[in-house]
Structure 1
Amino acid sequence: MKKTIVLMVMALLLIFAGNAFADSTDYYTFELSDQVTRTSVNYKNRYNITIAADLYRSKDLDMSEDHPALVIGPPYGGVKEQGPGVYANQLAQRGFVVLAFDPSFNGESGGEPRHTSSPDFFVEDFSAGVDFLGTVPYVDRERIGAVGICGSGGFALTAAQVDKRIKAVATASMYDISRYIRDGLGETMTEERRDQTLAEFSQQRWEDFESGGAELSGQFPNEPVPEVPEGLNPVAAEFFDYYATERGFHPNSIGAFTKVSQMAFMNFPLLSYVDDISPRPILFVIGENAHSNYFSESVYEQAAEPKELYVVPGANHVDLYDRIDVIPFDKLETFFKGNI
């Protein structure tokens, strides 16, 4: 009887939570399907930081039954109103209850300093999403999977290394952020250069402490621009085309983190125990022309069975953020319905 009352209260909170926390911008980069209901929710992670998220479900979902659920994290520097929402909007139409969240310190989630990046916190945010989904009355807590886009792919896999409640993981255009930063942000990183970089970060800590703030790395324009400027290298142009133009621009996604955040990623590598996920399955989705494929390919080699590397013909890295005509939703549906 007590459990029934708790579930009823949870259901009412989910239905009426509405705009209570996470709709301050009301700015999405895609159109919500008329077949889908999106509800703004918030909950705490284990560090007591409030996580802002959107819960998606089909309007005709039978809420008297239990359904499979997915937690989806954004590209590194992204927010729930971008790629995660695109995925959630599509997957909800396929029968999943889907939670798209803003990482700690970013978007509309809590935490200070703003725009902090942390391997520990970003991994924890996936497990916190599982915590929340397990309390939703119409979710089967034994059938929860995770989807990570870009940097969140590495965080989702790292969470699954230890969180057995995550029954299956799919990544799209995965980035291993710890490897990326330690290797020099896509540039050649010699030992000498790494020592110099760490010395600069160490000095930056004093400057942040004395100023009472946290200096950020460079960021995208604060208003969408009509086109990608000339002179950018192909990878930078690809990201600029998504984050800085009308295609994917969002005011909470500035493309910047505190400079000293990089120290944590250089000190605490992700994906050290990816083989521990087995026998739970992993699906790596990459674009045929994506610059980031080496991350997924190398982690695929480390992972134990069952695993699959799925290549999307003609797609680049960012195409898998929002191109609904390119993202293999049929493949994702089959993968998760067969494994959670």
Structure 2
Amino acid sequence: MTSIVISRAPYQLSGRLYAPEAPTTNYSPAIIVVPPSNAVKEQFPSTYARLLSRRPHNFYTICYDPSHFGASGGNPRYLEDPNARVADISTIVDYLMREVRRVDKQKIGVMGICMGGGYAIAAAKKDWRIKAVATVNLVNIGDWFRIGWEGRESVEKHTETMKTVGDERRKELRMRPSSSSSGLSGISLGPSVISLPSTPVDTRRSVTPTFDSYRRPSTPTSPGFREPYTGAEEEMGKLVLFIPATNEKSHVDLQELTEYYTTPRAFHPRAENILLQQSLPLILTFDAFDFVGTFLKAPVFCMIGGTAGSRWHTDRLDIMLRRGSQSGIRGVNKLVFVEGVGHVDFFDGFEEIDRAVGDIGAWMREKLTGP
């Protein structure tokens, strides 16, 4: 594994590059592992990237922190801008084609889990250099925020959200002097890239748990437990919870997402479960699936947990692809249902990750190395 810095003017992305363990040709295909919102590369994106680079898959892989989050640059901090997230992926395609000499430039794929899957779809329909797309428990972030985790809420309630964000932003701007150095009123500038250790860790054989490891138990009394961020007024603007506070009545997926990101199960200090409130209009007006029937030409693989509440996102994508196809039967190229598996099981479940990596690796090998 090599820690890399990817130029994305005017700032940089922090990433990890994994080379094929046993390349069979001079030039190898590559896969970009797209993180969900609120995740950093040190969590499960590195697990997938590392395993896909090993035998028998032998891909070049890159995982990274998205713009405005983690160790990557981008100001203001904690801004979830879906269009910037999609642009990140094309920036990494540029990097693979320009900087990694042994990558086959005609054989680049992307894979994403949860919201990373939605961003992978959105990138592939815009950037036709991407030749194959794989998703696991796909989530279209715009749909989730508009109509809820199970897709049953009314989008009309967010007219008030839009008004609230505008009012808060006006209030913030009145309270702060303008900053001529940044060109953005009231936005503090931070470091572009935080340096990271470059020593690789084989977490599948590690006795000491690390952020790259598979599932491990955790409780609110465990050492290092951190309560979810409750939101606060910061210099950069109002911060809100990314994954809303949950209770016993919340969908089990949301309860597990909260546990994954905010307890020792996988908590990382650069994945804080917060976003700027001004992100909400950007998310609410974004749809990863717009025009997929027309512009998404790459084949699509979707894996879905049988008990995942996010399944309806994959169903919607499949329907839209079928409607957009002249033949009426295109749809998702391959659908895999894994019975008895939930949404978060693919984040750190040993068996679930092995199943996903095995199926995605074989499918990507077929699509990226076939005729």
What TM-score, normalized by structure 2, do the two folds share? Answer: 0.74
Q: CA deviation at 1:285?
A: 1.1
**Structure 2, unaligned runs of 5 or more:** 177-185, 187-235
**C-alpha offsets along residues 267-300 of structure 1, whole Å, 9 cap, x if unaligned?**
2322101123554200111111101000111112
Q: CA deviation at 1:103?
A: 0.5
Q: CA deviation at 1:259?
A: 0.8
Correspondence for 1:71 among 7, 32, 35: 32
Alignment of 1:143-158 (within 5 A): 143-158=107-122
Alignment pair present for 1:108 and 2:108: no
**Structure 1, unaligned runs of 5 or more:** 1-37, 221-227
Structure with more relative contact order (C-alpha pairs < 8 Å, separation 6 or more): 2
Q: Which residue number in structure 1 is paired with residue 191 of structure 2? A: none
Instruction: Say if 2:142 and 2:288, in contact at 8 Å, map to a contact too.
Output: yes
Question: Would the alpha carbon gap of residues 152 and 230 (structure 1) be closer, same or farther in structure 2, given more than 3 Å must change?
Answer: closer
Alignment pair present for 1:189 and 2:154: yes
Q: Which residue number in structure 1 is paired with residue 42 of structure 2? A: 81
Instruction: Say if 2:146 and 2:155, in contact at 8 Å, map to a contact too.
Output: no
Q: CA deviation at 1:323?
A: 2.0
Question: Would the alpha carbon gap of residues 219 and 265 (structure 1) be closer, same or farther in structure 2, given more than 3 Å must change?
Answer: closer
d(CA) in 1 for partners of 2:287 and 2:247?
A: 35
d(CA) in 1 for partners of 2:241 and 2:130?
A: 35
**C-alpha offsets along residues 28-51 of structure 1, whole Å, 9 cap, x if unaligned?**
xxxxxxxxxx11001123x53311
Q: Which residue number in structure 2 is paired with residue 265 of structure 1? A: 283
Question: Would the alpha carbon gap of residues 277 and 66 (structure 1) be closer, same or farther in structure 2, given more than 3 Å must change?
Answer: farther
d(CA) in 2 for partners of 1:156 and 1:48?
A: 23
Alignment pair present for 1:215 and 2:176: no
Instruction: Say if 1:73 and 1:80, in contact at 8 Å, map to a contact too.
Output: no
Q: Which residue number in structure 2 is paired with residue 223 of structure 1? A: none
Instruction: Say if 2:2 and 2:18, in contact at 8 Å, map to a contact too.
Output: yes
| Residue identity opposite 1:89 in structure 2 | R
Correspondence for 1:90 among 37, 46, 51: 51
Q: Which residue number in structure 2 is paired with residue 16 of structure 1? A: none
d(CA) in 2 for partners of 1:53 and 1:60?
A: 22
Q: Which residue number in structure 2 is paired with residue 330 of structure 1? A: 358
Question: Would the alpha carbon gap of residues 292 and 165 (structure 1) be closer, same or farther in structure 2, given more than 3 Å must change?
Answer: same
Question: Would the alpha carbon gap of residues 195 and 332 (structure 1) be closer, same or farther in structure 2, given more than 3 Å must change?
Answer: same
Residue 65 of structure 1: SS of its match in structure 2? Answer: coil
| Residue identity opposite 1:41 in structure 2 | I
d(CA) in 2 for partners of 1:76 and 1:240?
A: 13
Question: Would the alpha carbon gap of residues 301 and 219 (structure 1) be closer, same or farther in structure 2, given more than 3 Å must change?
Answer: closer
d(CA) in 2 for partners of 1:326 and 1:339?
A: 22
d(CA) in 1 for partners of 2:28 and 2:104?
A: 5
Q: CA deviation at 1:190?
A: 5.2
Question: Would the alpha carbon gap of residues 307 and 139 (structure 1) be closer, same or farther in structure 2, given more than 3 Å must change?
Answer: same
Residue 257 of structure 1: SS of its match in structure 2? Answer: strand
Q: Which residue number in structure 1 is paired with residue 307 of structure 2? A: 289
Correspondence for 2:16 among 51, 54, 61: 54
Correspondence for 2:2 among 18, 39, 64: 39
d(CA) in 1 for partners of 2:29 and 2:364?
A: 9
Residue 326 of structure 1: SS of its match in structure 2? Answer: helix
Residue 216 of structure 1: SS of its match in structure 2? Answer: strand
Question: Would the alpha carbon gap of residues 139 and 214 (structure 1) be closer, same or farther in structure 2, given more than 3 Å must change?
Answer: same
Q: CA deviation at 1:229?
A: 9.1
Instruction: Say if 2:256 and 2:344, in contact at 8 Å, map to a contact too.
Output: yes
Instruction: Say if 1:41 and 1:53, in contact at 8 Å, map to a contact too.
Output: yes
Residue 147 of structure 1: SS of its match in structure 2? Answer: strand
Identity %: 29
Q: Which residue number in structure 2 is paired with residue 316 of structure 1? A: 342
What TM-score, normalized by structure 1, do the two folds share? Answer: 0.80
